[in-house]
């Protein structure tokens, strides 16, 4: 029996996208705080503890345990539910937080489970469960970086992720192996095996600039990959804003700064 609300949607934009969700009477969509963009009159907005799914343990201890896990990884304890309380169709829109793509996932067609980067979730139909997935392997836990603690999205409805830059969807055959930077993983289906591998080689380790480890994804299953992780973008912006340019003391450097509008 389908327990998730069956929502229709449309994605707008190219590099700065948002998703518009169409709700029938009494249908509900849930989103992380801060994702809301706009909505029609007739939609009620309510802050809820957890994701509001039937999979959630509603006992006091269950709620406290769930809250503790979400606090541990810096996630919000609350989500926002948007319910169509009118007698006609209504629309609510959710915007991506930075340049990139919105990825629409039909969980019913994807085995009912997606593992995603913990900041990737944007919104979903009510009934979809959004939890925390701790990688069980020791090497993954010690060296996985961004990929160690991930979000687990379960259900049979629609869910929407956000990714940075260009998004590539790949189908891995049984046993097929993909090596990837941990930050470039958006998500993958439940049947994909995730692990961490040492790059190796003294030159790679000291001078490679890519870190000591990368992720391995082994099929079968689907994988979504982003070309520009927000952590990579943020580090480049921070480095540019914090440090002086290498050529700043030269005549050409000063000339370039003048052309850029940075003064002398």
Supply the range of the domain harboring residue 23: 8-228
Whether residue 234 lies inside any domain: the answer is no
Q: On the CB side of 214, how many CA atoms lie within 13 Å of its CA?
A: 15
The 10 Å Cβ neighbour count of residue 117 is 25
What is the structure's pLDDT at 7? Answer: 86
- Grouping H, G, I as helix, E, B as strand and the rest as coil, residue 241 is helix
The CATH number of whichever domain residue 124 belongs to comes to 3.60.160.10
pLDDT digits (tens, 9 = 90+) for 82-103: 999 999 999 999 998 888 899 9
CA distance 106 to 158: 5
DSSP 35: -
Using the predicted structure, report yes or no on whether residue 12 has a pLDDT greater than 80.
yes
Q: Output 193 or 118, whichever has higher pLDDT.
A: 193
CA distance 210 to 213: 8
Q: What is the number of structural domains in the chain?
A: 1
Whether residue 196 lies inside any domain: the answer is yes
Using the predicted structure, report yes or no on whether residue 14 has a pLDDT greater than 60.
yes
pLDDT digits (tens, 9 = 90+) for 73-86: 556 678 899 999 99
- Say what the pTM is: 0.79
Whether residue 85 lies inside any domain: the answer is yes
Whether residue 239 lies inside any domain: the answer is no
CA distance 183 to 214: 9
Question: Cα–Cα distances in Å, from 115 out to 35, 66, 88, 124, 231?
Answer: 20, 17, 35, 14, 19
Whether the Cβ atoms of residue 89 and residue 22 lie closer than 8 Å to each other: yes
């Amino acid at each position: 029996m389908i327990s998730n609300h069956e929502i229709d949607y449309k994605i707008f934009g190219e590099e700065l996208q948002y998703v518009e969700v169409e709700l029938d009477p009494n249908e509900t969509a849930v989103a992380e705080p801060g994702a809301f963009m706009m909505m029609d009159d007739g939609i009620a907005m309510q802050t809820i503890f957890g994701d509001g799914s039937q999979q959630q343990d509603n006992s006091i201890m269950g709620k406290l345990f769930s809250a503790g896990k979400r606090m541990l990884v810096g996630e919000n304890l609350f989500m926002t539910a948007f319910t169509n309380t009118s007698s006609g169709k209504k629309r609510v829109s959710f915007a991506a937080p930075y340049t990139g793509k919105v990825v629409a996932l039909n969980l019913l067609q994807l085995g009912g489970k997606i593992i995603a980067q913990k900041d990737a979730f944007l919104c979903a139909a009510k009934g979809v469960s959004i939890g925390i997935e701790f990688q069980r392997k020791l090497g993954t836990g010690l060296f996985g970086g961004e990929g160690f603690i991930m979000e687990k999205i379960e259900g049979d409805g629609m869910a929407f992720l956000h990714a940075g830059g260009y998004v590539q969807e790949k189908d891995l055959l049984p046993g097929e192996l993909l090596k990837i930077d941990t930050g470039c993983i958006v998500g993958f289906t439940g049947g994909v095996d995730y692990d961490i591998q040492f790059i190796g080689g003294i030159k790679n380790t000291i001078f490679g600039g890519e870190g000591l480890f990368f992720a391995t994804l082994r099929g079968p299953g689907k994988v979504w990959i982003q070309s520009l992780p927000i952590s990579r973008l943020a580090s480049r912006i921070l480095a540019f804003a914090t440090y002086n340019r290498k050529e700043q003391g030269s005549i050409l450097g000063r000339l370039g700064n003048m052309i850029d509008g940075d003064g002398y």
